[in-house]
Amino acid sequence: MSLLKTLFTLAVLTILLCFNKPAFAEPLSIGEDIPYSVLVDAKGDLTFEEAEQILRFDTAINQKNLSRGYSRDTFWLRFELSPNVFDQKDRWLELGPNFVDDIQLFYREKGLATQWQNRQTGDLFHSVSDLDYRNPVFVLPSPSAEAAGYEVVMRVRSTSTVLLAATVWPPEEFLGHAARSTSFWSFYFGLAALSSLLALVLALILRTHLLWTATAFSVAYVFVASVQGYVNWVLPVLGIPLQHYATSVFILISFAVLMWMSSETINLRQHLPWAHKILMVACGVTLSLLILIPLDLYGIAIKIKTAILLITYTLFIYSVFHIWIRDKFPLSTLALGISPMVCMVASLFGVFSAFGWIPFYQEVYVIWQYALVENMLLVLAISVYRIRKRRLEEFDRQKLTSDLAAEREASFNQRQFMGTVSHEFRTPLAIISAALENLQLSESDTDSPRLARYQKIERASERLIQLTDNCLADARLSAGATALYLEPTDLMRLLSSAASLVHISDTHQLVLTVNGRAASVESFNCQVLADSAMMRIAISNVIDNAIKYSNGGDISIDCSVSGTNVTVLICDQGTGIGTLEPDAIFQRYRRGNSSKHGTGLGLFVAQQIASASGGSLKLLRSTAQGSCFEFTLERVIKD
């Protein structure tokens, strides 16, 4: 949890730094503060002298930064620096941005017949500069007293976007600005390195798609380092325009990875597979645009990339809100989905600025570059939160599985014990029943008071036999031995045997009918497919309940034939099951609300036996005047 808090703290800190950047001293900007005239050289064949002469008589004034998008034209600018700009002190001219290929600077004192000074810089020339700094900086000495300041001509051309941010600084203010800026970006790249390392470690440990995308997204920081001029400054490899190609290559890779990450943040693979496929295709197409860079078609690659971005960003925003509304995303998932949106919107401002559709501001690039870190940290934080939540759920699931296994084992042991005890009861109960039968047969006096006592013992013995049979049947059914031995069985004899409990009751009478008419065992010949021993237990359980839960009266059993099925209705005049749901009465160990007797096992066992025999048992009705249960059994039809 401490790791999660740390990641969230860093994410918030990056946002605060992004929007609370130190207030640098404002220099004079070419465009906003110092107007200029511009000449478009479509063929790029104008010499300096020709361009300077044309610009000298150009009265059109521009007061915005030069921003012409991805153009192969050459642009010539002319402006003047008055003596007031210098205030009798040297000034430093800072040029940018660093991804402009070729900038030539021509300057001389105005009003004097001096030679034009010529300097050349750009990322194809390793940003040649008078100062050891990441941006090209040229020292402009204070003009002599006879001069009316400086006149300056610049030529700008680039295979990437044509942008120019030229600023004039007092040296002391520039040094303070450079120190603050270097500290600012040092913190940025330190944070980027930390988040990248953390993403890699977590990806190796946890191995999730989202963390691998976060790791891959670290390439965006190489692009930022190129845009900010750190590649040429830190790695001045002569003869190799490393920064030039790094800027082009890594911007395409960064946007491709951003699309991949966007899909993984909201798990489009699972929630909207078709949208995930579209994003992955767009990712692949964006990466394939890398081949256009060595063919000197970078501008075309960027235009295609921009079209893809507009389509995929719209699709992603639709997907986030569609899934959020449809699946009720938690707030953390929604925040994770919105995080790439912030990065996308900020990047679109940068793209629009690069195309010249909106004015160029350095702050736009700074915000976008900090949005990369914020997005990375938020992705890491919520990834860790997701994984932690998933592991807690897995722990709870394992604990539940363990508890269920323990409960299952305890239930099995209980049934085994009950089955063993019940089995051991059968022999002494059989002996008691046999001895009791002999005692009744040996009694010659039908009015003997001993016969009444024998009948009470017989009823108690039958109850114990019934309970023993139920326990054994439950143990057998629970053990999976539900494959009963089904054979043709005489229904009336089965019912008569199962209803023996009624005959030994002093207060109940058995009413046996067929289709509502009185019948005897011999009068109705019908055979059903059943395991006679198990089915006797099932029917006996229902009859036993009818006796237990009624103070007296008729226990009626009615049989009817319908096609291949036989229906047996067993009704009583008891108190019913109360407010209990009809299906609940058949659950193991459940009894009716009015029940004060029994274990709640009889009806469960009866229904299981009926189902295993290919039939059914259900409660037709239950009121305060009695209950009625229905057996459905398969009839045996003789050829």
- Please state which CATH number belongs to domain 480-634: 3.30.565.10
Question: How many residues make up the chain in this entry?
Answer: 639
Residue with the larger pLDDT of the pair 23 and 381: 381
Give CA–CA dist 298/343, Å, rounded. 23
Asked whether the predicted pLDDT for residue 595 surpasses 60, the reply is no
Q: For residue 424, count CB atoms less than 10 angstroms from its CB and return exposed for 0-12, middle for 13-18, buried for 19 or more.
A: exposed
Distance between alpha carbon 176 and the CA centroid of its chain, in Å?
Answer: 47
Asked whether the predicted pLDDT for residue 12 surpasses 70, the reply is no
The token pair at 512 is 């046996």
Give one DSSP letter per residue of 576-588, joined into a string.
--TTS-GGGGGST
Q: For residue 368, count CB atoms less than 10 angstroms from its CB and return exposed for 0-12, middle for 13-18, buried for 19 or more.
A: buried
Topology of domain 2-13+185-398, CATH: Rhopdopsin 7-helix transmembrane proteins (1.20.1070)
Task: State pLDDT tens for residues 357-377.
Answer: 877 776 666 777 777 777 777
What percent of the chain is modeled with pLDDT above 70? Answer: 80
Looking at the domain covering 28-169, what would its CATH class be? mainly beta
Specify the pLDDT at position 7.
44
List the chain domain ranges: 2-13+185-398, 28-169, 480-634
Could you tell me the pLDDT band of residue 19, with boundaries at 50, 70 and 90? very low
Residue with the larger pLDDT of the pair 151 and 395: 151
Q: Which range has the worst mean pLDDT, 33-47, 283-297, 298-312, 340-354?
A: 340-354
Specify the pLDDT at position 593.
55
Closest CA to 38 of 60, 68, 71, 65: 60
Q: What mean pLDDT is predicted for residues 151-169?
A: 92
Mean pLDDT of the residues in the chain: 81
Closest CA to 5 of 394, 388, 390: 388
Give CA–CA dist 600/43, Å, rounded. 99
Asked whether the predicted pLDDT for residue 24 surpasses 50, the reply is no
Give CA–CA dist 161/177, Å, rounded. 26
- Does the predicted model carry a pTM greater than 0.75? no
Q: Which range has the worst mean pLDDT, 11-15, 53-57, 529-533?
A: 11-15
Cβ atoms of residues 508 and 433 within 8 Å: no
Specify the pLDDT at position 232.
84
Closest CA to 626 of 574, 558, 561, 552: 574
Closest CA to 382 of 231, 265, 258, 485: 265
Phi-psi region of 111 (alpha: psi -120 to 50; beta: other; left: phi over 0): left
Give CA–CA dist 324/334, Å, rounded. 7
Asked whether the predicted pLDDT for residue 639 surpasses 70, the reply is no
**DSSP H or E segment with residue 497:** helix 491-498
Amino acid at 297: L
Give CA–CA dist 573/507, Å, rounded. 12
User: Please, which residues have CB within 8 angstroms of residue 486's CB and are 6 or more apart in sequence?
Assistant: 529, 530, 531, 613, 614
The pair phi, psi for residue 105, each rounded to 5°, is -115, 125
Give CA–CA dist 157/100, Å, rounded. 7
Asked whether the predicted pLDDT for residue 516 surpasses 80, the reply is yes
What percent of the chain is modeled with pLDDT above 90? Answer: 24
Tokens 């600023």 correspond to 167
Q: Which range has the worst mean pLDDT, 225-239, 398-412, 426-440, 530-544?
A: 426-440
Give CA–CA dist 283/267, Å, rounded. 16
Q: Which range has the worst mean pLDDT, 131-135, 154-158, 256-260, 457-461?
A: 457-461
Q: What mean pLDDT is predicted for residues 426-444?
A: 67
Specify the pLDDT at position 271.
87
